[in-house]
Structure 1
Amino acid sequence: MSVKSQPRAMVLGLSAVLLWSTVATAFKLSLQTLTPLQLLGWSGLFSTLVLALAVSWKRQWGELLLQLRARPGFFFTLGALNPMLYYLVLFKAYDLLPAQQAQALNYTWALTLALLAVPMLKQKLQKVDVIAMLLGYLGALVIATRGQVLALEFDSTAGVVLALGSTLIWALYWILNTRAQGAPAVTLLLCFLFGTPMVWAVMAWQGALVVPSLQGMLGAAYVGLFEMGVTFLLWLGAMRSATHVSRISNLIFLSPFLSLVFIRLFLNEPIVPATFIGLALIVGAVVLQQKLKQSEPAPAAEQPE
């Protein structure tokens, strides 16, 4: 059992949020030399190694083998969703859109999760859900059109569709993940043990098996370590150490705004006013939904970018 310590939880939580805030920038820098498929293949490899070390440290290989033998098809499905489909779609969206748009649109995943829970978990939409979705998707529209909502002109229509589509895949993954019975690190490693070889198989099929440049390799390592691996473990540790979980979970709302700072500093991408307005609408919608919704929220151990 984890020792409860709110100061420790705050340090771990803030560390996770800070690292997650950098990954949108890392995506764009890495995609300068790698295709979305190559970035996923190499970053997935690094993440698998990190998660394997974590499972070894906790001596959970026995549990992993039990889970694998009991439900191989279940983990195959999860692995196909995450990392394969989710990150492939997300990276392609980042390849087509400015980083500020892709990361902000992807943040609507919490709203998509509530919407998908209706048919899959037989939950009912409350009034707060409807209001939150209207606000959140209005914010997404403001961002995608750079504030020219009535004109409906996008930097990349395909990129917008992919960014929003990634939230559907992520929400589906987390709904299915609620049925997993193992430790979170074990479940995530099993997903990568199935998903990463799928990505490499597609890379081989498309003739994309090449050793990246130094920039590409460092970018893939950073994404694998801090988007998919270490940061997840930091966040999980924060949630388990917290005496006031809500104070830790609220830290995640800092991430999209901090991300804009890194995008401006390292990508020299001007942040347009519409991005701040739209992101404020999205975050406000998510906060409204979480604070006022009376039904039990679906679990979310990791936050995407």
Structure 2
Amino acid sequence: MDERRALVFGVSAVLLWSTVATAFKITLQQLTPLQMVTAASVVSSAALLIICAATGRMKQVSEQFLASPLYYLLMGLINPLAYYLILFKAYSLLPASQAQAINYSWAITLTVMAAVFLGQRITKQDWIAALMSYAGVVVIATQGQLLNLHVTSVAGVGLALLSTLLWAGYWILNTKNTADPIVSVLLGFLVAVPMCVMLCLYQGVTWQSITWQGWTAVTYVGLFEMGITFVLWLSALKNTRNTAKISNLIFISPFISLILLATIIGETIHISTLFGLAMIIGGLVFQQTKRPQRSATETTH
């Protein structure tokens, strides 16, 4: 174990994840959600293939897929295809500060879904944490106008919440998978890419109008939201004896993200968004005070 190395990997991952909400908004100025998923998945697949080749995992790629082809087809359909299509659409309808804050409630969604599908018990502390977090979602969605329940975009909020269901469902399906996690993520992207291409052909998607800035932005998303950052995070958890210490770094990410959104793209950050995000993070911290940290492969976006 190398705690200093783990901290460097962990902080690097958190800082990179802090930039993706801004990158999403910049990319959506030129690309549709489907174009984003397609291009970013190609970039991520290439990056993960290089990593697997460099670390001697290439033989495992075909072995893992052939051992459970239907499983990896389902996983690729959920993540990246459905999850990112829905998440990017939510970002296109909502201010990025709202979309990313609501997306952080996925860990609470996971607790509820684990009780339903895995038979895990929901404690009183879980219910309190869920109440705190989803109250924060309501504050963010209504921009603090709780009495008249005015929502910026009902569809956007609905899609952001749906993305938490898909992300939590992805990790529930992943709980029984003992295969190499990096190879598993790569297989999801390799499965999703041909699906994305077929959807693009079906919808007659054209790519000629995208400038080099658009290609740069979507490449950044593919590398640092979907690909390399996941490997950094796993490496951090692998090199530490204190998983909770490293995992709790993720709570810094949404607040750095808000600063970047305000300074880089000039997005207005409402007080209600800060308050609601604090409630969501507070609920997550409150929930985690009672038990060991979850699986090392769980990540937050």
TM-score (norm 1): 0.96
Q: Contact (CA 8 Å) 1:24, 1:99: kept in 2 or not?
A: yes
Q: CA deviation at 1:245?
A: 1.6
Q: Distance in 2 between matches of 1:197 and 1:179?
A: 26
Q: Contact (CA 8 Å) 1:174, 1:300: kept in 2 or not?
A: no
Q: Contact (CA 8 Å) 1:12, 1:234: kept in 2 or not?
A: yes
The match for 2:263 is: 265
Q: CA deviation at 1:243?
A: 2.6
Match of 1:160 among 142, 157, 161: 157
Q: Does 1:303 align with 2:299?
A: yes
Q: CA deviation at 1:291?
A: 1.2
Q: Does 1:55 align with 2:62?
A: no
The match for 1:134 is: 131
Q: Does 1:122 align with 2:119?
A: yes
The match for 2:178 is: 181
The match for 1:69 is: 66
Q: Distance in 1 between matches of 2:293 and 2:110?
A: 10
Q: Distance in 2 between matches of 1:89 and 1:304?
A: 16
Q: Distance in 2 between matches of 1:117 and 1:297?
A: 15
Q: CA deviation at 1:300?
A: 5.4
Per-residue displacement from partner, 1:159-218 (whole Å, max 9, x unpaired)?
000000000000000110112221111000011111121111101110114243212111
Aligned ranges 1:8-47 → 2 under 5 Å = 8-47=5-44
Identity %, equivalent residues: 47
Q: Contact (CA 8 Å) 1:175, 1:298: kept in 2 or not?
A: no
Per-residue displacement from partner, 1:59-101 (whole Å, max 9, x unpaired)?
1122221111110000000000000000000000000000100
Match of 1:279 among 274, 277, 281: 277
Q: Does 1:225 align with 2:223?
A: yes
Q: Contact (CA 8 Å) 2:72, 2:191: kept in 1 or not?
A: yes
Q: Find the residue that maps to 1:270 and give its secondary structure.
A: coil
Q: CA deviation at 1:48?
A: 0.4
Q: Contact (CA 8 Å) 1:235, 1:302: kept in 2 or not?
A: no
Q: Contact (CA 8 Å) 2:171, 2:298: kept in 1 or not?
A: no
Q: Distance in 1 between matches of 2:147 and 2:49?
A: 49
Match of 2:196 among 189, 194, 199: 199
The match for 1:104 is: 101
Q: Distance in 2 between matches of 1:185 and 1:273?
A: 38
Q: Distance in 1 between matches of 2:42 and 2:243?
A: 32
Q: How many corresponding residue pairs?
A: 300
Per-residue displacement from partner, 1:250-272 (whole Å, max 9, x unpaired)?
10000011100110011101111
TM-score (norm 2): 0.97
- The letter for the 1-side match of 2:264 is F
Q: Distance in 1 between matches of 2:181 and 2:202?
A: 32
Which stretch shows the higher mean deviation, 223-232 or 191-200?
A: 191-200
Q: Find the residue that maps to 2:289 and give its secondary structure.
A: helix
Per-residue displacement from partner, 1:218-252 (whole Å, max 9, x unpaired)?
11100000000110011111001113221111100
Q: CA deviation at 1:113?
A: 0.4
Aligned-pair RMSD on alpha carbons?
1.2
Per-residue displacement from partner, 1:110-162 (whole Å, max 9, x unpaired)?
00000100111111110011000100000000011111112111110000000
Q: Does 1:243 align with 2:241?
A: yes
Q: Distance in 1 between matches of 2:159 and 2:137?
A: 13
Q: Contact (CA 8 Å) 2:45, 2:186: kept in 1 or not?
A: yes
Q: CA deviation at 1:302?
A: 4.7
Q: Find the residue that maps to 1:111 and give its secondary structure.
A: helix
Q: Contact (CA 8 Å) 1:142, 1:149: kept in 2 or not?
A: yes
Q: Contact (CA 8 Å) 2:234, 2:296: kept in 1 or not?
A: no
Q: Distance in 1 between matches of 2:237 and 2:206?
A: 38
- The letter for the 1-side match of 2:260 is F
